[in-house]
Amino acid sequence: MASPILRFRVARFRLAAEPFRVATSDGVDLVGSRVGEANPAVVVCHGFAGWHAKPMYARLIEELAARLTVYAFDLRGHGASGGFTTFGARETQDVAAVMARARAEGHERVATLGASMGGIAVIRHAALEGGVDAVVSVSTPARWDGHRSDAVRRMAWLTGTARGRQLGRLIGIRLPDEWLRAESPEEVVGKIAPVPLLLIHGRDDHFFDEEEAWRLYRRAGEPKRLWLADRFGHAEDGFSPALAERIGRFLYSAWRLPWPG
C-alpha cells in the first residue's frame, strides 16, 4: 500500500483509466493503469521516488494517451507495487512484465519511455532483453558513479544510510540494505540498435549534466536522436503537452505511421 504521505500526492486521471496488476518473472507484484485506446502503445516508467499517478506523470500520461495506449505502473519498491527498488537493475523485469501485458492485449507496436531511473530500466531492458519497438529515455544517467551534483549527494544519503532508508519508507520507497551492481546504461546502450532510440535531456539538469546524454548518444547505434532542451530541469520537471506531442510524433515517424490529426 502507498504511504500516507504518498496518498496526498496521487492524481486522478481525467481520462478513463483501467487498473491492472502483473507479476514479474522474479515474483514481484506490480500495480498500474492502462489509459487510451490507440493500437500503438507505450510503457511509461517513472523515476526514483516517483509513482505512475504522481501529478506530473499523470498529466504526461493523459497527453500521450491522445494517440497512444499508455501502460503506466509503479516500479518495484515504489508506490503500490511490491518488492524493493534496485535503481534500474532488476527493473528490467518490471518493464518486460508490463510489455507482455500490452502485447497480450493486442498491441502490435510497443515503445518504452522512462525518466531518470525509469530511463535506466528501459535502456537496460531494450539492450539486454529486447522485444521493444522503440525506446525514449528522459534525463537518464549514463554511469552509476562520477556525479558531483548536490542532488545526487542527497540521493546517495537517502539510499546509503539507515536513516535515509527509514525516510524513504515514509515517502513510499522501499530501499534495499545493499545496492545491486549491474551494467550501466552506457555499457549496454549500443545493443539497442536497430531499434529506434530517442534521448531527451535538459541542459540545466540539476542531477545529471548534459555530458551524460552525450555519453549515451555516442555509444548508441543508429537510428538514434538526441534532444537537448533549455529550461527543462530533470525528468518530470520538463513534462509538458508539447513534450508529449514531440514524443508521439517521434514514435509515429519511427514506425512510419500517419500522424492522427
Convert the pLDDT of each residue in 150-207 to its tens digit: 877 787 777 778 887 777 777 779 988 777 789 999 999 999 999 999 999 999 999 9
Domain span at residue 129 reads 4-254
Q: For residue 164, give the amino acid letter.
A: G
For the chain, the average pLDDT equals 92
Does residue 260 belong to any structural domain of this protein?
no
For residue 11, the 8-state DSSP code is: P
Give the C-alpha distances (Å, rounded to integers) separating 51 from 9, 11, 206: 10, 10, 20
| pLDDT of 4 higher than 50 | no
Determine what percent of the chain falls in helix, strand and coil, rounding each to the nearest 5: 35, 20, 45
Q: Residue 180 maps to which CATH number?
A: 3.40.50.1820
Average pLDDT over residues 213-234: 98
Lowest mean pLDDT among 88-97, 123-132, 141-150, 155-164: 155-164
Does residue 259 belong to any structural domain of this protein?
no
Question: Which residue carries 504518498 as its cell?
Answer: 6
Does residue 131 belong to any structural domain of this protein?
yes
Does residue 261 belong to any structural domain of this protein?
no
Does residue 170 belong to any structural domain of this protein?
yes
The structural domain count of the chain equals 1
Given a contact cutoff of 8 angstroms between Cβ atoms, the answer to whether 230 and 201 are in contact is no
**Residue 119 DSSP SS3:** helix
Long-range CB contacts (< 8 A, 24+ apart) of 32-35?
Answer: 32/71, 32/72, 32/73, 32/74, 32/98, 33/61, 33/71, 33/72, 33/73, 34/69, 34/70, 34/71, 34/105, 35/61, 35/62, 35/65, 35/69, 35/70, 35/72
Does residue 135 belong to any structural domain of this protein?
yes
Give the C-alpha distances (Å, rounded to integers) separating 130 from 28, 83, 96, 109: 20, 23, 9, 13
Lowest mean pLDDT among 160-174, 214-228, 229-243: 160-174
Q: For residue 169, give the amino acid letter.
A: R
The pLDDT tens digits for 175-187 are: 887 777 899 999 9
Does residue 13 belong to any structural domain of this protein?
yes
Question: Which residue carries 510489455 as its cell?
Answer: 99
Does residue 117 belong to any structural domain of this protein?
yes
